[in-house]
Amino acid sequence: MQVTASAHRVHLFSPLSSPALSLPSAKHCRCRNRNAAATTVRMGLREDGPSVAVVGVTGAVGQEFLRVLSDRDFPYRNIRLLASRRSAGKRLTFEDREYTIEELRPESFEGIDIALFSAGGSISKEFGPVAVERGSIVVDNSSAFRMVPEVPLVIPEVNPEAMAHIKLKGRSGKGALIANPNCSTIICLMAATPLHRHAKVVRMVVSTYQAASGAGAAAMEELLQQTHEVLDGKQPTCKIFKQQYAFNLFSHNAAVLSNGYNEEEIKLVKETRKIWNDMDVKVTATCIRVPVMRAHAESVNLQFEKPLDEDTARCILEGAAGVAVIDDRESNHFPTPLDVSNKDDVAVGRIRQDLSQDGNLGLDIFVCGDQIRKGAALNAIQIAEKLL
């Protein structure tokens, strides 16, 4: 099916989103479909809810924070919208109420119970500890604190126990930091973890196909602009990635380290080990930017300690919260970024035995997830829900 640039634009800017994929169960799975969406809290604006701050509200993830808060009727007593000085004073409507965006300052966190951060690592390092000192629980979407040993790195469907000791202030709790994993890690582990629990992954090889959304709203706009320019025979504007993105793909733009891996790939390695609490699991990754507007895709090869056949794996994934199986071999229909854009669930398909390994000790899967939603904003708000 041919997809136009305007179709991609709908997925990027549409304020509407579906809470989960609506899909038939896999034809090859004989077990009962136990897949259920992660528990949501349906309360909305109420006096006994927590006070919430959104840091970086004008960015792509900041805007998605607001959509997810509304979609899930997250309970809040009041909400404070924070951004840089250049955005301060602008008006923004959220749930039929008009708010003034405030400049981010240390005093912004007075009286705030939960602070959702997505304003970059330097801002998080500067203001995250300030918010904690004032009693806020910070859920941070940057890489600033992910590998700090005492900071929980959490995917609620995977390791909610990592944050079990943290409580909201006023409930015998105090300020704290919780880190949101990298988007590629979240999308990968949503599918790999249920299989890991069953047969223990000893080695994982991941190749990512990452959308413009991972680099923010400016990169998404530039991809759209470049697409028009190339189709019109013009030289493409290359400000964000310094090379043509439209109709092209290239190694992820993160800094390349001395060992040849880039920082994005190393995040996937280190974060997987921390989340699984397994320093021995072997992980290698190759991360690529592809000209997709929104939602990442990943090819994942898994090697197990114990045998796991593909039918059992399919049944396990059918029963995993937050996972939707799209695995129709007859019609050659498997997950795509368009399937999962603006959706909560991570989709998995191409579930098959690894022919290079004997004894059902290997599987290949293909995973797609919305980077802005489950890969960022939704995961953070699911963490906040666990605090209630």
What DSSP element (H or E) covers 191? Answer: helix 183-199
Record the tokens describing residue 327, joined without a space: 């695995």
Scanning 335-377, the segments in alpha helix (DSSP H) are 337-340
Give strand pairing partners of 205.
284, 301
Chain centroid, CA 78 distance in Å: 25
Specify whether the CB–CB gap between 375 and 364 falls below 8 A.
no
The CA distances from residue 76 to 72, 80, 296, in Å, are 12, 10, 31
Record the tokens describing residue 266, joined without a space: 């190393």
Give strand pairing partners of 114.
52, 137
What DSSP element (H or E) covers 328? Answer: none
User: Catalytic amino acids?
Assistant: 183, 296
Specify whether the CB–CB gap between 137 and 387 falls below 8 A.
yes
Torsion angles phi and psi, residue 111, rounded to 5? 80, 5
Record the tokens describing residue 89, joined without a space: 């004073």
Specify whether the CB–CB gap between 381 and 58 falls below 8 A.
no
> CA 381, CA 165: separation in Å to the nearest integer?
18
Q: Is 255 left (phi over 0), alpha (psi -120 to 50) or beta?
A: beta
> CA 343, CA 16: separation in Å to the nearest integer?
10
Instruction: List, in sequence order, every beta strand (DSSP E) within the chain.
Output: 51-55, 78-83, 91-94, 97-100, 102-103, 114-117, 137-140, 176-179, 201-210, 250-251, 282-289, 296-304, 323-325, 346-353, 362-369
> CA 305, CA 311: separation in Å to the nearest integer?
18
